[in-house]
Structure 1
Amino acid sequence: MSAIPLPEFCNSDTLIETLDEHEVLHGSDDTVRFHVPDDCFITCGSLAYLATWGRRTLRNGGEIQFSGAEDPCSYLSRMNLFEHLNVPYEEDFQRRDETGRFTPIRLIEGASDVEPTTNEILELVLHQFENAREFVPALEWVVYETIDNIRLHADTSVPGAVCAQYFPSKHRMNVAICDVGQGITSSLESQLEPWEGTGDAIKKALERGVTRDKEVGQGNGLPGALEIAKANEGTFRVWTNDVVYDIEDGEEKGFQKRPSVDGTGVVVRFDTTNPVHPSDTFLGQPGWTYIKDEAQRLNLEGRIKVAEDCISTGAREPAKRLRRKVQSLLPDMNRPLVLDFEDVGSASSSFLDELLGRLVDTLGQETFDQKVRLVNIPDEMVDMANVVIGQRVENDQDL
């Protein structure tokens, strides 16, 4: 088989159409070769689908190969696609901290994968968003419930796949969740009249309380995700069989036809400037959130190790991520949050200013002293921190 060229704009639609055109959409027991063009842009939806589709190809005895442009191939490797599809690839780049702007592809094989995968995406938010406390509860609900659907309803023999990416300049957070299982229509067979089709099945799945079995779910997963996406004025896309249902910028776009696929895919794009709280929807006030859970863990364990949380202590960006996390957790701490500098051999003034200077500036010196403790920090680092804190506070007073 000749190499299949990936579309230059490779989203779930164009990828599925390409796989269908080359007659491999429903699997292959042969070698499937892909060529990645120079300007290829690959979305989360296409990555998640390609991962779970590819795992089925491997299960069927096939093989997957990639060739083409270096930059997009490096991106595919960094997102762990090649690892999951057994594609040999020699990385000539340094991997970045995974609490950066994306969560690489994670495979969902069972119940034990749901919470850790959700938490990885939430860690990204804690490190990247200034408004994480406002944003996390709704995102946590959408991601956890939708991933859990793979486990509960997909009835798939290969893992589902999840990935996420944050685009700060566009104030956008994309999350994709896909499987190649039985699909919504088969899952809801007992809820459908004999003449109802795929579009009717999606409509049913988006109704509150509709589930194939009350013993395994209450039927609020997709309806809750849809309501949150609408309130956020974001994008919500669900596909199964030959139908795609879309919400764009909070507005319903309805149903489209495309080549029939196995399984179900959900892509949610959030506007990060417009947080939604579950209590503003039918979901109500969440009893527990990842932020509260992380704060409780720190209350018990007592510290954040700076060397483990920051890939580098020589620049502002890692410090900014850690500061955002600290600021998100502090309101739920019932004891001082400890920043442990053990194994931090050196730190730049920029790092200390971004972490400690901005924390003191935001919290105030008295609140900082009450809520944050620094341990194992060398004397010379303390001196440098005092200088940058003094400069920041003095500059703000001059304004």
Structure 2
Amino acid sequence: MTEISRDNHVIRVSGDLKDFHYLLAQFHQGIEKAAYSELILDMSECTSAFQNSMLSVCAQVTAYREAGIDIELIPPKNPRLLSLFRNTNWGYFLDPRKFDQSHFRGHSRIPATRYKTPDEQQNSVNRIVNIVLGALPDLQRSNLAAFEWSINEITDNVLLHSESPIGGLVQVSTFEKNTKSIQFVVADAGVGIPQTLKGGRPDITSDTDALDKAIREGVTRDAKIGQGNGLFGTFRVCSKSNGYFQVDSGHARLEFNSKNGLSISNQNIPYSGTLVVATIDFTDPDLLEDALQFGGKPYKPIDYLELEYEKSDGIPINFILINECQAFGSRVSGRPLRQKLHNILRMSGSPQIAIDFDGVPVVSSSFADEAFGKLFLQLGPVQFMQKVKLINMADTVEGLINKAIAQRMQYGASDIDP
């Protein structure tokens, strides 16, 4: 149960925060109606929160702060939720005086990231795709390309259309327990989709109609600025994969799930900005092979793998290890590296990957086993020898990796995981 209330300049949230509309309405009332220039957001009794709601709140609070409103956060008492606030950057965006930016390096969640320029947007997308390569095993290239295209289009829409004074926020989570899924959330504090589309489409008469039109192919406020396929293509990717898709903007919410299909509803409390939630399910490896179609024709975007790793046909990939891995001392850091290498080898047409150990003076035995001993088992001896080249290794590193591979050859795959 959620309880949200405002007592003068103090806004209190208790219980589970699932929806953001009423909370943001309290900010609006306190700032725009009651004319408070200082507010306290008391979330000490909040017990859980979800990234779609929190990213929307973070975007609006950031906009208020940069407009001169002083907002203080009283963080959750719940230890797990407090840790989540730190790791996801929610705490930082709500109150940067109390929370530093997150340095979370896990591979199940990518902290909320802000971007305001095209370079920042592209860097954010590249970082996300790079981490996803190591987060989910056995990705198909078409699936990764569909995800990359979608998150690139939605984040870019913020810069092209939203007029958001803070730019945009993007956050990503991966899910492996029941389904192999990725969810990304993008939020801004701009003018919203209805106002954007109504400016160039007089046939749009309501906010629900605006969201209905927004997911149709080629719908845009100005064809000189964009083709209008970002929301359409992302909706198609999510729906085709039996995932989830949600857009909140103005007085409307558009929602798709595999059980109930598509629905568009009026919201009594408006959202000043746009929130897009996209969950893509990669459980069926071939499902998204032709998901991106425009004008009835399949579209094959240039992807991160091609731009970052594949320099030319027939040329080995140069994989500089110190740039690809944050630590070399545990299985935790070895597992995403192995999954990234395995995904790249499966996806790429390059004949070989040269893993350059220059600048890596030492690795732990557990790291060597997790990253390279298990990779040897996954590929098999012949494929490993043909496709993987280890170069510039220190003697101690070479010895540890040789030992890890030898032990895996002896004891086999009894405890290997994907």
TM-score of Structure 1 vs Structure 2, range by shorter chain: 0.7 to 0.9
Q: Using the alignment, how far apart are the partners of 1:398 and 1:229 within structure 2?
A: 36
1:279 aligned partner: 290
* Cα distance change, pair 208–361 in 1 and its aligned pair in 2 (3 A): same
Task: Name which of 324, 332, 337 aligns with 1:317.
Answer: 332
Q: Which residue of 2 aligns with 1:291?
A: 305
- 1:294, 1:265 → 2: CA distance? 30
SS at match of 2:213: helix
Q: Is the 8 A contact 1:6 1:36 kept in 2?
A: yes
Distance (Å, rounded) in 1 between the aligned partners of 2:154 and 2:264: 20
User: Residues 307 and 250 (structure 1 numbering): CA distance in 2 closer, same or farther, change over 3 Å?
Assistant: farther
The alpha-carbon deviation at position 369 of structure 1 amounts to 2.4
Match of 2:64 in 1: 57
1:18 aligns with 2:23: yes
- Spell out the pairing of 1:24-103 with structure 2 (5 A cutoff): 24=29, 30-37=37-44, 40-68=47-75, 69=77, 70-89=79-98, 95-97=103-105, 100-103=107-110
Aligned-partner Cα distance in 1 for 2:112–2:414: 48
Structure 2 match to 1:224:
233
- 1: CA distance between counterparts of 2:222 and 2:413? 62
Summarize the alignment of residues 247-396 of structure 1 with structure 2, pairs less than 5 Å apart. Answer: 247-249=256-258, 251-258=260-267, 259-275=269-285, 276-277=287-288, 279-283=290-294, 284-296=298-310, 303-330=318-345, 331-332=347-348, 334=350, 336-396=352-412
* Code of the aligned partner of 2:105: D
- 1:121 aligned residue: 128
Contact 1:45 1:176 in 2 (8 A): yes
Q: Percent identity, please.
A: 23
Q: CA deviation at 1:297?
A: 5.9
1:165–1:175 Cα contact (<8 Å) kept = yes
Structure 1 unmatched ranges of 5 or more: none
1:138-287 map, 5 Å: 138-171=146-179, 172-193=181-202, 196-249=205-258, 251-258=260-267, 259-275=269-285, 276-277=287-288, 279-283=290-294, 284-287=298-301
Separation in structure 1 between the aligned mates of residue 352 and residue 215 of structure 2, nearest angstrom: 44
Distance in 1, matches of 2:99 and 2:240, equals 44
More deviation, 235-244/361-370:
361-370
- In terms of fraction of residues, the more helix-rich structure is 1
Matched residue of 1:208: which SS?
coil
CA offsets per residue over residues 219-275 of structure 1, 9 Å max, x none?
111111111111111110011111111101364241233311212111012224235
**How far apart in 1 are the matches of 2:368 and 2:9?**
54
Do the aligned residues in 2 keep the contact of 1:306 with 1:340 (CA within 8 Å)? Answer: yes
Give the number of equivalent residue pairs: 395
Give the distance between the partners of 1:397 and 1:50, measured in 2 at CA. 46
Alpha-carbon deviation of 1:397? 9.0
What TM-score comes out, normalization by structure 1 length?
0.88
CA contact (8 A) 1:16 1:25 kept: no
Secondary structure of the residue that 1:296 maps to in structure 2? coil
The gaps in structure 2 that reach 5 residues or longer are: 1-7
Q: Distance in 2 between matches of 1:274 and 1:39?
A: 37
TM-score w.r.t. structure 2 length? 0.84
Secondary structure at the counterpart of residue 310 of structure 2: helix
8 Å CA contact retained: 1:66, 1:87:
no
CA contact (8 A) 1:235 1:269 kept: yes
